[in-house]
Amino acid sequence: MNPTLIKRASRKLSLVLRHQPEAIGLKLDENGWAGVEDLLRCLAATGTPLRREELEIIVAENDKKRFSFSPDGHRIRANQGHSITVDLQLDPVPPPAILYHGTSTKAIASIMRTGLQPRQRQHVHLSLDQETATRVGQRHGKPIILHVDSAAMARDGFQFYCSANGVWLTEAVPQKYLSLS
């Protein structure tokens, strides 16, 4: 499959599986799943025809493993990043001692006042390493990395989740757990 087509289809999947399923007339269940047949039908009806085999390639080759099929292969969902309310049924897990959040320099003053907020998404997204956090921050401008004292947060009762594609998630990070490198 042509890499440009894969990228374009992947963007569309992110849009409809995380943010606006109604844009193609699709319905997600409460856990964020869409029926694969429904998805392909809705995509075709709105000008993005895709075959099942192509969808499988997109899911397998997606650079961040953003999507998963259900074990029986009949359903598909985004692994994280939703703005619509879905219950991914992730179990809380103990986090590594330090996690990282990449953001842009222009957001720092506000973050240091009010902590990290999920903004449009369901969770604050945290990275396991600084390289990943830098790539996340670059999407917003000049990147800057915040260190999150996740060990202290866990001791204080905050819950952490790890998505199927290895992104660490938590509800919010109060300012006192944040430091600049």
Binding region for ligand HQG (CB under 6 A) = 64, 66, 81, 103, 107, 110-111, 114, 116-117, 119-121, 125, 136, 140, 167
Collapsing DSSP states into helix, strand and coil, what is residue 68? strand
What's the closest the beta carbon of residue 118 comes to ligand HQG, in angstroms? 7
DSSP label at 82? -
Euclidean distance between CA atoms 30 and 148, whole angstroms: 30
Q: Supply the minimum distance, in Å, between the C-beta of residue 110 and ligand HQG.
A: 3
| E strands present in 24-162 | 34-35, 67-69, 75-78, 98-104, 124-126, 143-149, 161-162
Closest approach of Cβ 122 to ligand HQG, in Å? Answer: 10
- Return the number of the residue (18 or 75) whose C-beta is nearest ligand HQG: 18
Closer residue to ligand HQG (CB): 9 or 116: 116
Q: How far apart are CA 176 and CA 180, in angstroms?
A: 12
> Judged by CB, which is closer to ligand HQG: 53, or 63?
63
